[in-house]
Amino acid sequence: MLRVPVRLGGGFGARPSAVPRHRPEDLSPVSPIASYRQLLRLAGPVYVVIAFVGRLPLAMSQMGALLLVSGTTGSYAAGGLAAGSLAVANAICSPVAAALADRVGQRPVVLAQSVLGGIGLLALVWLAARDASGGVLAAAAGATGAFLPQVGPLARVRWRPITRGAGARQHRLVEAAFSYEGAADEATFVLGPALLGLLLLLADPGAGLVVAAVLLVCFGGAFALHPTARLAHTPRREGQPRVRVMTPTLGVLMVAQGLIGAFFGSVQTGTSVLATAEGHAGIAGLVHAVLGVGSVAAGLAIAGVPERFGFPLRMLVAAAGLLVLSLPLLAVGSLGSLVLVVLVLGFVVAPYMISNFTMGERSAPPAKVGTAMTLLAAATGLGYAVGSALAGRLADGHGHTAAFAVTVGAAAGALLLSVAAQPLLRRGRTTERAAVSQPVDVPAPV
């Protein structure tokens, strides 16, 4: 069967070559802004918008389930159980879906996830409106979480084939793409809760999940159907040996992401406890969003870091920054001082996560990149659940300072891990450089 190749930059309906062609001016020196402009030109603005909005439903779903179930049952415990069920189910099931996407392609997997996940969110709202029990709502939330797609990790998989025709510049363009993706993840986890808060003021908690369902079906489906999905699939050839996705490097990076997840969960818990104690529980989400502001800015700027500062070193420096800048959390006693601390703290969050995801992408076999990226995201979610639960238990008896002690502990763990893992991660970088110097076998369009 004759297949028409797909052009990336024009969005739907246009006709590309499978490998982007570059004009001579693309060989000019690269600045972060120039890198982002070239990425936008290669992928097309339609794709960038779709991939950004497509990850908002996941950012809205956990807090949306918490607010909806808590409001309808009158029990924060029931709301927490529903939100936790959704998060844990997603962390467990999303790597399975990513492995399937690596095998058969992202298009059918993400399309099915988007439709089923959207139906699940609407079903959760319907059950809550009919006064279902907390157990039923928790089960429905868990089933929904199992189908919500991890658009962020899957979007990262697409950038290497999108930039395949950039020659020697591809390495830096992929770095810039991962910097953007880190900033985009942070931005959605700021905008998602903010959108929920606005809908809560204008309507009710159920409206937030209805909007998330609509966004998921529309933009998640568009992400699945976008032409770049074809380029992200590297089918295993007959007779080609199977490769393992789990390696010592990926194992270390999963622990690192689990620690940053615990960092996030404990910061959010401590912020909520302090805001409630001061009589301003409603602005806890806005205070926590300040952490994302600095992280987005740093994520976009890290593309300008010289390549000689390798990602193992960047991970180490960022982890040290997490520990040093989180220590003032133990001394904050008001929301005003907390805002200042988390604003500065945010500037080291994105560099740490971007380093981890970039090393994970480079260490993974080409046919397993989607699985590796989603495993890292799943580890973050599980760490978030553990950090939030531990911080909440300690805060019940000792207040917000005890919750923030979990934050400092997670940062200390991240630094110790970064120091201990430097030899392993640096060996991985040497192997990766050798692989990059080899010619790449690019499948020709059929």
What is 35-233's CATH superfamily? MFS general substrate transporter like domains (1.20.1250.20)
pLDDT at 413 over 90: yes
| Residue 240 pLDDT grade (very low, low, confident, very high; cuts 50, 70, 90) | low
Lowest-pLDDT range of 109-118, 236-245, 275-284: 236-245
> In whole angstroms, what is the distance from residue 171 CA to residue 154 CA?
19
Highest mean pLDDT among 27-36, 178-187, 246-255, 382-391: 246-255
| Residue 429 pLDDT grade (very low, low, confident, very high; cuts 50, 70, 90) | low
Domain ranges of the chain: 35-233, 244-438
pLDDT at 29 over 50: no
Is residue 440 classed as helix, strand or coil in its secondary structure? coil
What pLDDT, on the 0 to 100 scale, is given for residue 441?
40
> In whole angstroms, what is the distance from residue 51 CA to residue 59 CA?
13
> In whole angstroms, what is the distance from residue 385 CA to residue 82 CA?
12
**Structure-model confidence comparison of residues 107 and 245, the more confident one:** 107
pLDDT at 182 over 80: yes
Lowest-pLDDT range of 10-24, 63-77, 100-114, 276-290: 10-24
Read off the pLDDT of each residue in 416-444 and give the average, rounded to a whole number. Answer: 64
Nearest CA to 87 out of 110, 64, 68, 114 is that of 64
Lowest-pLDDT range of 159-168, 205-214, 306-315: 159-168
**DSSP letters along 217-269, please?**
IIIIHHHHHSTHHHHT--PPPTTPPP--S--HHHHHHHHHHHHHHHHHHHHHH
pTM of the predicted protein model: 0.77
Read off the pLDDT of each residue in 295-301 and give the average, rounded to a whole number. Answer: 85
Highest mean pLDDT among 119-133, 160-174, 384-398: 119-133
Whether the CA torsion 92, 376, 433, 425 is positive or negative: it is: negative
Nearest CA to 187 out of 319, 65, 291, 281 is that of 291
pLDDT at 23 over 60: no
> In whole angstroms, what is the distance from residue 297 CA to residue 343 CA?
11
Lowest-pLDDT range of 143-152, 212-221, 264-273: 264-273
In terms of residues, how long is the chain? 446
Digit-coded pLDDT (tens) for 34-53: 888 889 999 999 999 999 99
Distances (CA, A) of 151 to 144, 170, 223, 359: 15, 22, 8, 19
Equal CATH topology for 35-233 and 244-438 = yes
Lowest-pLDDT range of 96-100, 180-184, 385-389: 385-389
Half-sphere exposure of 318 (CA within 13 A, CB side): 26
- 240-267 burial by CB neighbour count: b if 16+ within 10 A, else e? eeeeebebebbebbbbbbbbbbbbbbbb
Query: In whole angstroms, what separates CA 50 from the centre of its chain?
Result: 15
What is 244-438's CATH superfamily? MFS general substrate transporter like domains (1.20.1250.20)
| Residue 312 pLDDT grade (very low, low, confident, very high; cuts 50, 70, 90) | very high
pLDDT at 239 over 80: no
pLDDT at 134 over 60: yes
What pLDDT, on the 0 to 100 scale, is given for residue 223?
96
